[in-house]
Amino acid sequence: MLEGALAAAQELRGEEAGAARGGAGLARSLTIKIVSAIVTLFFVLVFNFFLFRVLPADPARNLARGTALTASQMAAVNRTYGLGLPLPQQFWNYLVQTLHWNLGISFEYHIGVSRVIGSALWPTILLVGSSTVFSTIIGVWTGIRGGWHRGSRFDKTSTAINNTLYAMPDFWLGMVLLIVFASKWFIFPEGGMHSFGGGGTGLAGINDLLWHLTLPCIVLTLVYLAEYSLVMRSSLIDEIGSDYLLTARAKGLRDAMVRRRHAVPNALLPSITLIMLNLGFVISGAITTETVFSWPGLGLLSYNALNFPDYPVLEGAFLLFSAAVIAANLIADLLLTVLDPRVRQA
């Protein structure tokens, strides 16, 4: 995935540089990007609809959960969920309903899927958001330090650690941390988001939440910082040989200034693109971590929906995961436009 994301990042950069030729071109290319994001989203909707229609499941039977239903009861259930309609009609209803944020009714919870997903959204945003902040800061910092002093002991150590982390399944790291810190030493809780009884109100409640957040956040941070650090390091190394750095040194700038003012801002662009692109993937990538730590977010929701099986919830979650990636792509595009002077000044 790293290679693919990098290729995409580089391509974005190239496109942006090309778009910089004129202000009108810039507005046009932005419009094209937004439109193509919407088109992609539409394709995902179509795919989503048909994918979940081929699943070997009889929703009516599923809802009945083993109890014998009469034919008329089955028909009633099918009517309620609109399952008896012809496919094009079903598809149209699906489109209209999705646009109204009506994603159907959960087989497991018997309430609207949008409500189920809505309640799982905030834990995932908290977990993914906090871990992304940490992995970005630590990853970029170690990448800069390692890349600038290439071959130093710091560089060698951090590259070795990053390669190891990059090869590590995130859920395995989670389970190891759980055994050590929760089962053996009792420093952190076994899982969940709150202690039994809510963990108190006000400051005590926040403390309790942070206490539960620590381990899953560490896992996601470690797994993703490796990628950011490796990319930051190699894009900084690409800049080191550049003429403009030689010029900066010839002007008599100190080494730290050359790095901070000249090399890092240029080398940051691919990392920023990668981090933004990844943000969309991290949300669905958190499925395993959330499962290990029973963190009540979208990931655990999908895992449970998978085992139930609760197809409407799975379908809704899949749609949201895809939308997150598309949105992250678009934001990465737009952000680069703002950050890259070659585009900004056009």
Residues that bind another protein (CB under 8 A): 1, 3-4, 7-8, 40, 43-44, 47, 51-52, 54-56, 163-164, 166-169, 171-172, 175-176, 178-179, 182-184, 233-234, 237, 280-281, 283-285, 287-288, 291-292, 302-303, 306-307, 309, 314, 317-318, 321-322, 324-326, 329
Q: Concatenate the DSSP letters of all residues of 236-251 into one string.
A: HHHHHT-HHHHHHHHT
Smallest distance, another protein to C-beta of residue 26, A = 21
Task: Show the CA angle centred on residue 212, arms to residues 196 and 164, nearest 5°.
Answer: 145
Smallest distance, another protein to C-beta of residue 191, A = 11
Contact between residue 216 and residue 299 where contact means Cβ atoms under 8 Å apart: no
The smaller minimum CB distance to another protein, of residues 119 and 234, is found at 234
The smaller minimum CB distance to another protein, of residues 83 and 237, is found at 237
Contact between residue 239 and residue 143 where contact means Cβ atoms under 8 Å apart: no
Smallest distance, another protein to C-beta of residue 242, A = 13
Structure tokens, 249: 């040194």
Smallest distance, another protein to C-beta of residue 233, A = 8
The smaller minimum CB distance to another protein, of residues 131 and 291, is found at 291
d(CA 159, CA 147): 10
The smaller minimum CB distance to another protein, of residues 20 and 283, is found at 283
Residue 276: partners with Cβ closer than 8 Å, 6 or more residues away: 328, 329, 331, 332, 335
The smaller minimum CB distance to another protein, of residues 123 and 316, is found at 316
Smallest distance, another protein to C-beta of residue 320, A = 9
Smallest distance, another protein to C-beta of residue 344, A = 26
d(CA 328, CA 322): 10
The smaller minimum CB distance to another protein, of residues 288 and 337, is found at 288
Smallest distance, another protein to C-beta of residue 25, A = 20
Task: Please state the separation of Cα 291 from the chain's center in Å.
Answer: 16
The smaller minimum CB distance to another protein, of residues 109 and 321, is found at 321
Instruction: Identify whether 123 is preceded by a cis peptide bond (ω within 30 of 0).
Output: no
Q: Where are the alpha helices (DSSP H) in the chain?
A: 2-19, 23-53, 59-64, 71-80, 87-99, 113-148, 153-166, 170-178, 202-240, 243-250, 255-257, 264-292, 298-307, 311-339, 341-344
Residue 22: partners with Cβ closer than 8 Å, 6 or more residues away: 346
